[in-house]
Structure 1
Amino acid sequence: MHSMIKKLKRTVVFILKLALFASLFGIFFGIFGINNPWLFNLSRTTGVTMVTFVVLGIALMSVYGGYSIGSTKSKPIVHSMALATIMTDLVTHLQLSIMNTSEK
């Protein structure tokens, strides 16, 4: 019974982490989609931007320990997740700016 509760807890924490990452993904594309409405259409640039965000986000969250929810105090988790999120957003925005085509 104890291991079943532990598995349930891990599953709930995993779902919360997934929901948090999905919301960060949605916020990023929602904000940058305002000035780049073509970002909501499936294209090579959109695909590369999405893959960059996901891969870099997961890597930086792992490196900075942002997914240690439930095992450490909340203040270090918030700082590491904020740092990982800011770096992910900056690099993804830089990549988006490089791939963005101008219509001039």
Structure 2
Amino acid sequence: MMPDGDYMLGELPVYVKDGMARLKKGDNLAGSILQLKQAVKNVVDWNIVTPEKAIMMASYVPAKSAHILADCGSIKPDKAADFIVLNPDLTLVETYLDGESRYNA
């Protein structure tokens, strides 16, 4: 989860406090601060989908929807090598960017 503080959401200044992101001007709810890896874990923990389907929902489906499947959304030659490694319980093990390990939990 994002720590409390000030951020930019596109061109809009927002602040995060107590797990909520709000617009600085008007104090309206600005969106979620939920991390994608937590969203994947949630839908599996709530018995909505299998881990495989949850991961597909978070990778392949958005890439297809955004018409960028040629560049990302799956692990194949000539695609961006940005991915995470998860434990069986869907907690983070490692993060790769450009095919290089950048973070170990």
User: How does the TM-score come out when normalised to structure 2?
Assistant: 0.27
Q: Output the TM-score relative to the length of structure 1.
A: 0.27
Larger RCO (alpha carbons 8 Å, 6+ apart): 1
Larger % of strand: which? 2
Bigger fraction of residues in helix = 1
